[in-house]
Structure 1
Amino acid sequence: MDLRQLRYFVAVATTKNFTRAAEQMHIAQPPLSRQIQLLEEELEVQLIQRNSRPVRLTEAGRLFYEQSLQVLHRVDQMKNTARQAGRNHRQSISIAYVPSTLYGGLPMVVRMFRQRYPETDVHLVDLGSIQQIGELKSGRIDLGFGRIRSNDTSVARTVLREEKLVLAIPPAWPLAAETGPVNLKDLEHQKLIVFPKEPRPSFADDVLGMLHEQGVKLAEVHEVRELHAALGLVAAEVGLCIVPAAARLRTDLVYRLIADEKATSPIILSHRLNDDSWYIVAIKQLIVEMYAQNPPWLDFQTNAFPSGLTADGAGAPFPADVEDLK
């Protein structure tokens, strides 16, 4: 097996067509097909179903495709690192995020990283949680901070904390008359604003799924593209909105903590499986240090932490060691 065969296979898997793959790789189709056949013979397993149009991957082929992407990305990384070292270029990493993480710890972590590693450039990319998975596998980003859980086995995920959810309420509405926690059942027959409208699945689907599990029937669901628009519509008395606790942005609204135990949204750090790049360990270590500083948005009332956490002398929860974040 060699890298050329992997590149040929990835081209076929991506284009779903041998002819287009051959054109993409600047090779005639017969030798390309032969190389993939030799690859299958070496692996002793069929990777591609050739009798379908477009061509399809077998289950083994799908798994091999994901791993091939990782191998080729790692090779490209090695080339770029060597070239940068030879030319004395700065290293750069790309970190994707969902916008709501900007109201919690992400800005602080990035700021600490830049101070600690000034020779490394950090590029931040606004990207949905599910889209982060594909971009990690393709090598376009190096780390992702999202909120949606995924079962993709080629990506490693660490839940940094479970952020509790609050209900944003127009001040004149009856639910704003009290200040204590509110139950999801209290949203029965209410108008609800959810975000983001797209791409899906997203935080909106988590919220709607949570209400469905509780059997809550809404009067109306209004979908908007982003958090600021959602809170603006709450201020306009269009409806209510469920948001992460750190995203209580408007001062002209009433916010009530949602009492239900499952009314949380995880902050999830994702990276490629088996990626041992130095910056992953560095980011996790900085998160440990950030938690230890007990920043204002990090508290027991609005955050729940995974097992294996301890508290410092001031009572602030944080991982005892970076090993707890692996």
Structure 2
Amino acid sequence: MELRHLRYFVTVADEKNFTRAAERLNIAQPPLSRQIQQLEEELGVVLIEKGSRPLRLTEAGKFFHAHAQELLDKAADLKAMTQRVGKIDRKFAIGFVASTLYGLLPEIVRRFRERYQTLDISFHELATIEQIQALKEGRIDVGFGRLKIEDPAVRRVVLREEPLIVALPAGHRLSKTEGPIRLSDVTQEALLVYPKQPRPSFADQVLAIFRERMLFPQKVIEVRELQIAIGLVGAGQGVAIVPKSLQGMVRTDVVYKTLDDPGAVSPIIFSVRQMDRTPELVNMLEVIYEIYDELGISHVKHVL
């Protein structure tokens, strides 16, 4: 059994049609059918129900499909990782969500670059879900995101849980209250969430926090990106739930207030390819934990 057999079977299963699968694989249909038949003979089980329209997998076929896809993902992961490790001119691509630029990411990269000056470092603003695909395709080496997206080809390290705060227009009634404010108070306001696309995103994370507490904002406005959300808050068009690090975004028309809810947090997640153990990744994690320790930030130590 070879990788091509797995690829042929997974494509047939995904397309639910031999003709479409053959076109996608750029081969003739008869050879494809023979390859699947040979695979069944080698395994000694029937993978595809005979005569089913549309094509249906047997229980054995469903089991084999899931694990075949996982093996193909790992093979692609291994290929991308090996190609990067084998390059003489070492490049290191970092994917990030915009909100991490207001936290410690700039200092992390500055210190990392200072210590490893031979690396050619590039940056790519990508939503968390886009980072997962970019990692699998070898376009980036590490991603800094906020969503816990499960993918067998990607390894995730939750660096810390960052508290969420509320961004309010200057002069807003809630900005004048003493101490933290409650999430229930925010439901009476127009809630600006971002990004609008792609989904799932930080917007879904924020809305889930309300749902988990049986709270439902009266009005939700989806906007394209963080900067637009903050700009609209400053213009008095609503309020936004944002990571605490955004307090560094100083504006005279926006006030930030803490929430009276310790469970309202957003994780900062370090994502890499599952099999990747290159020195650059280990070194970057060491820099991250070093900075966290210096600042007294609570974190869970994790070694790749």
Match of 2:62 in 1: 58
Match of 1:291 in 2: 292
Using the alignment, how far apart are the partners of 1:246 and 1:48 within structure 2? 53
**Structure 2 length-normalised TM:** 0.84
Match of 1:35 in 2: 35
Deviation of 1:261 after TM superposition, in Å, equals 1.6
Q: Which has the higher contact order (CA 8 A, sep 6+)?
A: 2
Using the alignment, how far apart are the partners of 1:34 and 1:195 within structure 2? 50
Q: In the alignment, residue 291 of structure 1 is paired with which amino acid?
A: Y
% identical equivalent positions: 43
8 Å Cα contact 1:48/1:58 also seen in 2: no
Q: Secondary structure at the match of 2:204?
A: helix
8 Å Cα contact 2:163/2:264 also seen in 1: yes
Deviation of 1:49 after TM superposition, in Å, equals 6.9
Change (3 A) 1:169 1:49: farther
Deviation of 1:41 after TM superposition, in Å, equals 4.5
- Across the two proteins, how many residue pairs are aligned to each other? 298
Change (3 A) 1:71 1:90: same
8 Å Cα contact 1:69/1:138 also seen in 2: no
- Show the 5 A alignment for 1:122-133: 122-133=121-132
Deviation of 1:64 after TM superposition, in Å, equals 1.8
Deviation of 1:19 after TM superposition, in Å, equals 4.3
Q: Secondary structure at the match of 1:237?
A: coil
8 Å Cα contact 1:156/1:272 also seen in 2: yes
Using the alignment, how far apart are the partners of 1:144 and 1:43 within structure 2? 39
- Bigger CA drift: 269-278 or 190-199? 269-278
8 Å Cα contact 1:158/1:325 also seen in 2: no
Deviation of 1:96 after TM superposition, in Å, equals 1.6
Unmatched 5+ residue regions in structure 2?
A: none
Deviation of 1:195 after TM superposition, in Å, equals 1.0
- Show the 5 A alignment for 1:252-271: 252=252, 253-271=254-272
Match of 1:216 in 2: 215
Using the alignment, how far apart are the partners of 2:98 and 2:47 within structure 1? 39
Residue 250 (structure 1) aligned with residue 254 (structure 2): no
Unmatched 5+ residue regions in structure 1?
A: 308-318
Deviation of 1:160 after TM superposition, in Å, equals 0.3
8 Å Cα contact 2:48/2:56 also seen in 1: yes
Q: Secondary structure at the match of 1:132?
A: helix
8 Å Cα contact 2:165/2:243 also seen in 1: yes
Q: Secondary structure at the match of 1:122?
A: strand
Using the alignment, how far apart are the partners of 1:130 and 1:256 within structure 2? 29
Deviation of 1:233 after TM superposition, in Å, equals 0.8
Match of 1:159 in 2: 158
Using the alignment, how far apart are the partners of 1:197 and 1:43 within structure 2? 46
Residue 72 (structure 1) aligned with residue 71 (structure 2): no
Using the alignment, how far apart are the partners of 2:217 and 2:203 within structure 1? 14
Deviation of 1:216 after TM superposition, in Å, equals 2.5
Q: In the alignment, residue 131 of structure 1 is paired with which amino acid?
A: E
Deviation of 1:117 after TM superposition, in Å, equals 2.6
- Bigger CA drift: 144-153 or 191-200? 144-153
Q: Secondary structure at the match of 2:144?
A: strand
* C-alpha RMSD of matched pairs (Å): 2.9
Deviation of 1:244 after TM superposition, in Å, equals 0.5
8 Å Cα contact 2:73/2:153 also seen in 1: no
Using the alignment, how far apart are the partners of 1:141 and 1:49 within structure 2? 40
8 Å Cα contact 2:142/2:271 also seen in 1: yes
- Superimposed CA distance per residue, residues 230-252 of structure 1 (whole angstroms, 9 cap, x where no aligned partner): 11111111111111011121322
Match of 2:225 in 1: 226
8 Å Cα contact 2:128/2:146 also seen in 1: yes
Using the alignment, how far apart are the partners of 1:143 and 1:46 within structure 2? 40
Using the alignment, how far apart are the partners of 2:13 and 2:147 within structure 1? 27
Change (3 A) 1:6 1:113: farther
8 Å Cα contact 1:155/1:271 also seen in 2: yes
Change (3 A) 1:61 1:284: same
Match of 2:280 in 1: 279
